[in-house]
Amino acid sequence: MPQDRSTRYAVTLLRISLGVMYLAHSVVLKFLTFGLAGTVTYFQSIGLPEWLAHVTIAAEVVGGTMLVLGIYARWVALALIPALLGAIIWVHGANGWVFTAPGGGWEYPLYLMVLSLAQFLLGDGAYALRPSRAIS
């Protein structure tokens, strides 16, 4: 589907801001705030395996970077959705809607899921280094 210039720029803004949020959530929160060991301990405390903490951080760092740069952004956004669904199911789902609830609610991961799905549906936007193939 052809997009006009303003739509392509809007999709680019979505792509970059979504990528920055994934990077902030992994680098700033998980790595710099809690540390790798703290993140691993947290994952284990809720019954998740240690390796999943490493995979989650790596996926968010690599995926966030690829989104910012526009490297197969459509497919990267789709690939990050399962981690957000897992965050709702295993971490935030029982805490209620609002993210300020003790343990954090589930509206933030749901919002990122919706934005990731929108990115997948809209494509890469302008200035993508490696645009995704269009879907029919």
> Mean pLDDT, the chain, as a whole number?
93
Predicted confidence (pLDDT) per residue in 95-109, tens digit: 888 878 888 889 989
Predicted confidence (pLDDT) per residue in 16-41, tens digit: 999 999 999 999 999 999 999 999 99
- When pLDDT is cut at 50, 70 and 90, the band that residue 136 belongs to is low
83's CB contacts (< 8 A; 6+ apart) are 56, 59, 60
101 or 118: which leads in pLDDT: 118
pTM score, whole prediction: 0.91
What local confidence, expressed as pLDDT, does residue 101 receive? 81
